[in-house]
Structure 1
Amino acid sequence: MFIKLAAATERRDEAEQHRRRRTKKNEEEERKEEEVEAAERWYVASEHQPRGIEWLIQRSPALGGQEQENKTINRNTNLTPSLG
């Protein structure tokens, strides 16, 4: 009886570990897809701007940059993409 209970518990634990790995993998894939979509949105928003890819990488959080708006540029010219 004890052996059957131990075997059932072990199978249950293995199934739970498998479910966790599958869930974690799905979450990672979703996060990567969201990062790609965010990078694409940044690119499209910046496409008409007279700036290079370096500017895009520096500005895009999805590409590892820091999102920082220069308020002076925003007020005086329309060189930055709309983020809303």
Structure 2
Amino acid sequence: MRSASLRQVQHNLGEVLRWIDAGEEVEITRRRKPVARLVPVGGQPRPVDWDEHFRALHAIFAQKPPKGSPASDLVIEQRNARG
């Protein structure tokens, strides 16, 4: 992956686009910190493996029980407070 400063991109956009046309990804930096990534468009979109995504989500959220009381308890409490 190539890296280019914002100034380089502003002054040499044609060159940066040639890199991208050649299949390279370009990371845009501002004050040496990455702020964006330009990637070539093309090819077929990759199919999403939904089973893998659901397994990852389950691994993240199944380990942590929710904290506090359910929102429905708060709604009931506020309704009762109004009279």
Is TM-score (shorter-chain normalized) higher than 0.5?
Answer: no
TM-score (norm 1): 0.22
The structure where helix makes up a greater share of residues is 1
With the length of structure 2 as denominator, give the TM-score of the two structures.
Answer: 0.22
Q: Which has the higher strand share?
A: 2
